[in-house]
A and B are shown apart, each in its own frame.
Chain A
Amino acid sequence: MSLTTTPGEFPTADPDAKGARPADGAPMQQSFWTDGGQTVWSWLGTVDHKRIAILYAISITAFFFLGGAAAALIRIHLFTPHGLLFSRDTYNKLFTLHGVIMVWFFLVPSIPSTLGNFLLPLMIGARDMAFPKINLLSWYVFVGGALLTVIALLAGGVDTGWTFYPPFSTIYSNSAVTLAAVGVFVVGFSSILTGINFIATIHLLRAPGMKWFRLPLFVWAMYATSMVMILATPVLSTSLLLIIAERLFGMPIFDARIGGDPLLFQHLFWFYSHPAVYIMILPAMGVISEIVTVAARRKVFGYAFMVYAMIAIAVVGFMVWGHHMFVSGMSPYAALVFSFLSFVVAVPSAIKVFNWTATLYRGQITFAAPMMYALGFLGLFTIGGLTGLMLASVPIDVHVTDTYFVVAHFHYIMVGASVSAFFGGLHYWWPKITGRLYPEGWARFAAILMFFGFNFTFFPQFIMGYLGMPRRYAEYPAEFQLYHVMSSTGAMVLAVAYLLPLFYFAYSLRFGEVAPANPWNATGLEWTVPSPPPKHNFDQIPHVENDPYEYHAQGHAPEHGKSIHRGQGDGPVRTPPT
């Protein structure tokens, strides 16, 4: 049985020199890009998970740069204490635009819908998702809902912030809240459908021999993420539905004048929106686990604990939402409980950070671009996580609630960690997805630039937040100008770092070296198929006989300093039985 076009021959283990063998110099073979038609309809009507992943990638890239443009405008505006560009109203609409687009139309679908969609069937040895048509439907639902909301955000503008808190959103706001909420409501279904598809696929379409504890951690991450998507998203739908009912039909559900409870909305909203943070970070954890192991050429340290930790994060993540409400007038006893549970959820996250670090210990670390992003992730995620603990403790939270400290904290997690991991994953699997190698030098430069630009942007926000600079204001006292100027300058650097990949990725599509099937000499079924994969993934469904990440024999990690030669037992790539 031959799964690869270059059987038996694996390229050099050193990713620096990858691409030395451009797949026998052959022209691009039949792949999902060409097979199945080249017409517009062959893409818009496709049920191939790989093509759907590409559709998602294009749409979320558009949303990413739209939301990013809003962020850039906000930062430019804040160069001076009185604001450079906008009125207060416009400023409110701008940060709402940024938040809504980035959270729901970029971060939530980012890794699951693109990398997850593309890789999940490949990683478990399946030909497609369990419900291919539902998969396509979820993209249409996503685009439809997102467009509705974007129209509302751009044409009318919404000034509630992405959290839609009543009574402002229900009674007082004169902006296009209803339409925006309808759009987000619709996009929620896309999330749910994706989650259902992933879980059903992982349960029922694993290749023979692909036992649960042989799944790559990325697949586990998708599983945990999908749990959260299915169980949390409907409650967001409920909360938005009630907002719409109140705005559109006058159902006075959160109206405090007649005994309604606006805090009830916050409970419902954060029942989704806190777990949604884990929708954003769990996939990133999966990506990092893949990259760290291959870059260090080590088995992942404590595989089982990595799995349990992700499931624990997904489950316990549902019990901590109240830490968003410490100063809202919630019961102090409940705050105590939520505070405790928020500390608990930090434990599995810490386990993961320690295990990644332990995986690197005595590893043969190479610093290709994906690894640069992964290392950036480790640092930024740790800072974000530790400041999260500060916010989980009630007294500190009371002090810094609604300041830039909170803004910095969640950007460290959602942008610093999550987006770094997304870019890392994009670089790591780029050869597999496109069949081309990206320019390594530029990629490393962008990774470093992103790390520094990010810290430059958001670290000053921790300081000014702690000093009392509140979030969501169009103006600020002059004493904070230094921090704001630093932050805004950093944001410009960050913008360049985000734009760079756009150019060199596009360049590589046309001019990049042709990628071999397994440029990283990595384990994992996705590397046993040609790059890019054929339409049906596998000629024959593979039999899996190895645990994941078999970069060295059990207990025989390669010594630091010794080079690895392919075919000498140091990097046994999971090969299909012949």
Chain B
Amino acid sequence: MSEASATLHEPFESATRQREALTFGVWLFLASELLLFAGMFLGYAVYRHDHPSAFAEAGRHVNLLFGTINTALLMTSSLSLSVASRAIDRDKPGLSEIGVWITLGLGLLFLIVKGLEYREDLDEHLWPGATFALHAPAARIFFGFYWTMTFVHACHMTIGLGLLSRLVWLARRGRLRANNDSVEATTLYWHLVDIIWALVFACLYLVGR
């Protein structure tokens, strides 16, 4: 049994149950994460309903190209990490390590693209401050959500990259198989962050086209 290769920790007496607990625990955390973002989506939805034209005008100023590239990057990174996770469960730590590396690279690339996009947004005065470029008042609210949601998402990405780096560190020491539960946890978290991005993308990048 592949799970049995994970180290058994204190309160548990069977590796299967320990693995089950880990998956369940991570999912509980993810449920909680979903509600964290749901609160922001709720705010966005209420305001989009209240101010449709301002949101459409503001939405046209978001860079769809960058957004699409980033979505594709994240989906590909999900593919590589999914392969990595399945590989470790089939006792193929080598393949798994490659998958983790690729995911890490794609994740970094996402943040770089995001940074470029942020710079362009700032150049176009899309920060809802004193020099804000758009006229409709509620356009500021749209960009309030744009910056908040993408920034919170980027924070989650950064945490995810930290977790991936830990996997790489473990893999370099040949301890990936003994820590296959860490691979599972990181994978689940990463996929969830990607799901959230898919929704953020649909909400922020596809308005008013």
Task: List the interface of chain B (C-beta within 8 A of A).
Answer: 9-13, 17, 20-21, 24-25, 28-29, 31-40, 42-43, 46-47, 50-51, 54, 128-129, 137-138, 140-141, 143-145, 147-148, 152
CB distance from B29 to the nearest CB of A (A): 6
A232 to B32, CA, bound (A): 8
Q: Which of A154-162, A215-223, A235-243 contacts B (4 or more CB under 8 A)?
A: A235-243
> Is the beta-carbon distance between B32 and A249 smaller than 8 angstroms?
no
> Is the beta-carbon distance between B43 and A242 smaller than 8 angstroms?
yes
Provide the A239-252 mask, 1 if CB < 8 A to any CB of B, else 0. 10110011001111
Q: List 18 A-B contacts (CB under 8 A).
A: A127-B10, A192-B32, A196-B29, A199-B28, A203-B24, A205-B21, A230-B31, A231-B31, A234-B39, A235-B36, A238-B36, A242-B40, A251-B147, A251-B148, A252-B141, A253-B145, A258-B137, A258-B138
Task: List the interface of chain A (C-beta within 8 A of B).
Answer: 47, 121, 126-132, 134, 192, 195-197, 199-201, 203-205, 230-235, 237-239, 241-242, 245-246, 249-253, 255, 257-261, 264, 267-268, 271, 541
With contact pairs A128-B10, A253-B148 given, residues A261 and B129 touching in the complex (Cβ less than 8 Å): no
Q: Which residues of B contact A541 (CB under 8 A)?
A: 13
Which DSSP category, helix, strand, loop or mixed, fits chain B's interface? helix
A232 to B54, CA, bound (A): 31
CB distance from B35 to the nearest CB of A (A): 4
A126 to B54, CA, bound (A): 57
Q: Which residues of A contact B47 (CB under 8 A)?
A: 259-261, 264
Q: Which residues of B contact A201 (CB under 8 A)?
A: 11
Please name the 6 residue pairs, one residue from A and one from B, whose CB atoms are nearest each other, closest first. Answer: A238-B39, A258-B137, A234-B36, A251-B144, A128-B11, A234-B35
With contact pairs A127-B10, A231-B31, A259-B138 given, residues A252 and B128 touching in the complex (Cβ less than 8 Å): yes
- What total of A-B pairs shows CB separation below 8 Å? 127
> Is the beta-carbon distance between B137 and A234 smaller than 8 angstroms?
no
CB distance from A239 to the nearest CB of B (A): 7
Among B11, B29, B46, B128, point to the contact of A130 (Cβ < 8 A).
Answer: B11
With contact pairs A242-B40, A253-B144 given, residues A259 and B128 touching in the complex (Cβ less than 8 Å): no
Q: Which residues of B contact A127 (CB under 8 A)?
A: 10-11
The chain A residue sitting closest to B36, CB to CB, is A234
> Is the beta-carbon distance between A132 and B10 smaller than 8 angstroms?
yes
Q: Which residues of B contact A271 (CB under 8 A)?
A: 39
With contact pairs A204-B20, A230-B32 given, residues A259 and B148 touching in the complex (Cβ less than 8 Å): no
Q: Which residues of A contact B39 (CB under 8 A)?
A: 234-235, 237-239, 242, 268, 271
CB distance from B103 to the nearest CB of A (A): 24
> Is the beta-carbon distance between A242 and B128 smaller than 8 angstroms?
no
Which of A126, A237, A246, A257 counts the most B-chain CB atoms under 10 A from its CB?
Answer: A237
Q: Which residues of A contact B29 (CB under 8 A)?
A: 192, 196
The chain B residue sitting closest to A197, CB to CB, is B25
> Is the beta-carbon distance between B21 and A235 smaller than 8 angstroms?
no
> Is the beta-carbon distance between A249 and B147 smaller than 8 angstroms?
yes
Q: Which residues of A contact B147 (CB under 8 A)?
A: 245, 249, 251
Q: Which residues of A contact B143 (CB under 8 A)?
A: 251
A129 to B152, CA, bound (A): 30
Q: Which residues of A contact B13 (CB under 8 A)?
A: 541
A121 to B137, CA, bound (A): 55
Which of A237, A239, A252 counts the most B-chain CB atoms under 10 A from its CB?
Answer: A252
Q: Which residues of B contact A259 (CB under 8 A)?
A: 47, 50-51, 54, 137-138, 141
